[in-house]
Amino acid sequence: MPYYLSASICNETTTTVAQQVETTTAATTSGGNAATTTGGIAATITAGSSTVRSF
């Protein structure tokens, strides 16, 4: 695997982890109100993750 591909995958993974941590924190802090408090931002961040749940 060429170096630039490896670096690209690394960066993408880091971004995904950071978003997931932020999303998890918001959900834990706000509880069921997360969807209402953060509006469409939370839906956009968590759209592709396995932590998406129906509120």
Q: What's the confidence (pLDDT) of residue 29?
A: 47
Q: Residue 6's pLDDT is what?
A: 45
pLDDT in tens, 7-54: 444 444 444 544 555 544 444 444 444 444 444 455 445 444 555 555
Residue among 28, 19, 26 nearest 47 (CA): 19
**How far apart are alpha carbons 54 and 43 in whole angstroms?**
11
Alpha carbon separation from 2 to 6, 12, 42 (Å, rounded): 7, 16, 35
Instruction: Specify the pLDDT at position 38.
Output: 44
pLDDT of residue 36: 45
The answer for residues whose C-beta is within 8 angstroms of residue 35's C-beta and 6 or more apart is 42, 43, 55
